[in-house]
Amino acid sequence: MQASPPKRDSAKKEMLVRIGVAVFTEKGFHNTPIDELVAQAGVPKGSFAYYFGNKDAYTLTVIQSYAEYFNKKLDRCLGNEALGPIDRIKAFADEATAGMERFAFRRGCLVGNLGQELGALDETFRTALLSALVGWQTRIEACLEEAKKAGELAPEADAAALAKLFWYAWEGAVLGAKLEKSRAPLDGVSAAFIGHLRSLAPIRRG
């Protein structure tokens, strides 16, 4: 039986994962040698091999960690009952936009970056990236179902299709923010999506 690694080791592992998110969203996968990751973390190369085995396994850990980070952010924003369901989606978009602004729009979304770079090359990566996106879509879809119950959205609106539309438009806007070095694409897509939802409000009768 192997003892669990000492606490400072698990801190090193977490740091390597955090560095991976930062570097991959800015520079992508193929442009990032392991040497650069371990240099930034200030750990010997052997540690990288010890924690992750190889770069592919490491990247899968980074993708899962990123997916979870946004799952938690979504759960928090979309679970905020002080706001109506549609306003919760807007609050999430505003928070995600502030996150990109903090890094001067140099960092994109890991799913967008690695999806473009690796999606067609490797089935394991494609599946992991798609499942991250599906996890986020499911959360928006559930919030749209709540919007129906709250009378904000017509019962016949297709919540699953709208949730997918939100994420694909969002991923495109993240690319736009990177290219324009501006929050304008994110604000534009957010406003258009929320406006579209408002146009799908139930028709008031009587």
Instruction: Return residues touching its own copies (CB under 8 A).
Output: 26-28, 30-31, 105-108, 111-113, 115-117, 119-121, 126, 129-130, 133, 161, 164-165, 167-173, 175-176, 178-181, 185, 188-189, 192, 196, 199
Q: Shortest distance, CB of residue 7 to its own copies, whole angstroms?
A: 34
d(CA 52, CA 194): 41
Among residues 37 and 43, whose Cβ is nearest to its own copies? Answer: 37
Among residues 11 and 130, whose Cβ is nearest to its own copies? Answer: 130
Among residues 12 and 113, whose Cβ is nearest to its own copies? Answer: 113
21, 88, 174, 181 alpha-carbon torsion, rounded to 10°:
-100
Q: Shortest distance, CB of residue 81 to its own copies, whole angstroms?
A: 28
CB atoms within 10 A of CB 195: 9
DSSP 134-203: HHHHHHHHHHHHHHHHTTSS-TTS-HHHHHHHHHHHHHHHHHHHHHHTSSHHHHHHHHHHHHHHHHTSPP
Q: Shortest distance, CB of residue 171 to its own copies, whole angstroms?
A: 4
